[in-house]
Amino acid sequence: MKDVVIAGVGIHPFGRFEHGYREMGELAARGALADASVGIQDVDMVFVANVGAEMAKGHNVVDRIGRTGVPVINVEAACASSGSGLFMAAKMVESGAADVVLCLGVEKAPRGFIASSGFDQWQIENGLGVNPMYFAIQAQELVAATDATVEDLADVSVKNHRHAVDNPHAMYRREVTREEVLASKPICPPLTLLMLCAPNEGAAAVVLMSRKEAERRGVAAPVTLAGLGLVSRGPDDWFVPAPAYQAERTSLSARAATAALEDAGVTVEDVDVVECQDTDAASELIAYSDLGLCKPGDEAALLRSGATALGGRIPVNPSGGLLSKGEPLGASGLGQVHELVQQVRGRCGSRQVTDARVGLGHVMGAGHNSCVVVVHR
Amino acid sequence: MSDELFGPGEPGDPTYLKGSVCRACGRAEFPRRAECPACGAESEPVDLEGPARLRVSSAVLAQPPGSKVQAPYGVGVAEFPQGLCVIGLLVGEPAAGATVEVVVHEPYPGGRIFAFREPGFLPAVAI
Ligand SMILES: [Zn+2]
């Protein structure tokens, strides 16, 4: 990615709220605009990521802020929606088609299981259209193929919940114990309720600029959007909602990570802090090897070493991750970017990763898509 | 729809899954495809009948939206010799690693779907 900067970030906390998605989106968007010291009149183009709201959702949010006549484009790609929106926004700036782009992710998801993730009717009626079942299959395969145990899965949840205590934007800010996680309601073995993230509500936004534009405007704390990798399903990938997979399968996340790091011109060893798609506890462990933080098979060892906890060598999900924040589908990816930008700016208070310079965010969603983003100060 | 997914039979009868195999690269797919999603070559129909190896054994313990099957129920992944892993309901409680066959299953009154079962499995009979 050439000369694209994140000039500002904004967030609406993740949780459950009385007000609607329009208000949430407005708050996050206004936050990002203020952080970048620009107004809606300065914006050349808007991308809005969302999964479940109404028609012309982005337009309905932007209308609350201003009527400037610029293009507003809605983007949907399940959990990777805001990653996809960011990809579009960044490419617009990089190509010179726009100097200032607002990118917003927003969601107000209903409680409980996500009702439709693209399953066929026969899967749904026969009890096979179940997201946590897919996560459980991944978890079982991880436990079978490596030395990871159910206790390790619980410990991912314990770690991320500990991190969230200091995150005012997270839904759950209470520490949990391994025993509590293991004793929570079983959903799909080996996964219990506290090993799964809850779909919820929230919004996050960024303002992107060309480096030249940011310099011209004297943006206070620009962060470089160094690399982006966005991939969809290849022949040997597998995720929700596919009913079958190849015995030897490949990883969307790994390809997205390789592309993003290459785009950024850095290696994974340069990364100081990671926010990853911990839809469930096993997904975080799988991400360790997919993103290159460890070799396949060493996921549990990396967790047990303490490396991925705050204070460790490569903290993962210092925000508390989706396990603690909850997952507003359309907003989750930009929520990660918000955290990473504030981390490399050194503004995360008691959950600050010491001297964080390079951050990596990772989302993966139904329909088979993954986005990895690399930012640095 | 069930006609497109698996062969004929009454609940409990062994059957097969209607898959396909690419003539060029050999990848198997389920449900059946006319052309290979990997290389675009023509695929030919193949009956995935096992025996297969149960690669994953799990369950759904909370009631999912839209499901006519009442939780709790067993689910698993069967790996077929063609190198394809298929997700399905389980009959009985076969453990991971077990050899399973494909059977016609009635997961709710009047329903028909394929499921995986250990050969020789006999359902418990209420006396
Ligand atoms: Zn082929």
Instruction: Report the gap between the CA of B41 and the closest CA in chain A (Å).
Output: 13
Name chain A contacts of B87, Cβ cutoff 8 Å.
Answer: 128, 133, 137, 243-244
A320 within domain boundaries: yes
**Which residues of B fall below an 8 Å CB-CB distance to A?**
1-2, 5, 27-31, 37-39, 55-62, 64-69, 71, 73, 75, 77, 79, 83-89, 96, 107, 111, 113
Surrounding ion ligand 1 within 5 Å at CB are: B 22, 24-25, 36, 38-39, 41
- Residue pointed to by tokens 């460790």: A312
Angle at A287 between CA A284 and CA A291, to 5 degrees: 145
Confidence of residue B122 (pLDDT cuts 50, 70, 90): confident
Is there a contact between B84 and A245 if contact means CB atoms under 8 Å apart?
yes
* Residue A279: alpha-carbon gap to chain centroid: 10
Instruction: Report the gap between the CA of B13 and the closest CA in chain A (Å).
Output: 18
Å from CA of B28 to ligand 1 middle: 9
| Tokens encoding A342 | 């504030």
Question: In angstroms, what CA-CA distances link A128 with A42, A67, A124, A143, A329?
Answer: 48, 45, 6, 22, 21
Cite the active site residues of A.
Answer: 79
A208 within domain boundaries: yes
* Residue A220: alpha-carbon gap to chain centroid: 25
pLDDT digits (tens, 9 = 90+) for B109-119: 999 999 999 99
* CATH at A357: 3.40.47.10
User: Domain span at residue A99?
Assistant: 4-111+197-376
Helix (H) or strand (E) holding B18: strand B17-22
A179 within domain boundaries: no
A142 within domain boundaries: no
Identify the closest residue of chain A to B73 by CA–CA distance.
A127
pLDDT at B126 over 60: no
pLDDT given for residue A228 in this prediction: 98
Is there a contact between B30 and A243 if contact means CB atoms under 8 Å apart?
yes
pLDDT at B48 over 70: yes
> Do residues A107 and A21 make contact, with C-beta atoms less than 8 angstroms apart?
yes
Q: Which residues of chain A have pLDDT under 50?
A: none
A259 within domain boundaries: yes
A116 within domain boundaries: no
Interface test with A, best of B67, B79, B108 (most A CBs within 10 A): B67
| Tokens encoding A258 | 């390789």
- Residue pointed to by tokens 């490949």: A250
Q: Which among A112, A127, A144 has the least Cβ separation from residue B96?
A: A144
Domain layout of chain B by residue ranges: 2-117
pLDDT given for residue A100 in this prediction: 98
pLDDT digits (tens, 9 = 90+) for A188-243: 999 999 999 999 999 999 999 999 999 999 999 999 999 999 999 999 999 999 99
Crossing angle of helices A131-145 and A150-164, in 10° steps, is 120
A146 within domain boundaries: no
pLDDT at B34 over 60: yes
A143 within domain boundaries: no
DSSP, collapsed to helix, strand or coil, labels residue A244 as strand
pLDDT given for residue A113 in this prediction: 64
Is there a contact between B1 and A144 if contact means CB atoms under 8 Å apart?
no
Is there a contact between B66 and A185 if contact means CB atoms under 8 Å apart?
no
Instruction: Report the gap between the CA of B50 and the closest CA in chain A (Å).
Output: 15
pLDDT given for residue A348 in this prediction: 97
3-state secondary structure A163-211: HHCCCCCCCCCCCCCHHHHHHCCEEECCEEHHHECCECEEEEEEEEEEH
Number of domains into which chain A is organized = 1
| Tokens encoding A266 | 């850095």
Mean pLDDT of B48-69: 96
Predicted TM-score of the model (pTM): 0.96
Identify the closest residue of chain A to B113 by CA–CA distance.
A126
Mean pLDDT of B16-41: 97
Q: ipTM value, please give it.
A: 0.96
pLDDT at B124 over 90: no
pLDDT given for residue A114 in this prediction: 66
Name chain A contacts of B96, Cβ cutoff 8 Å.
Answer: 140, 144
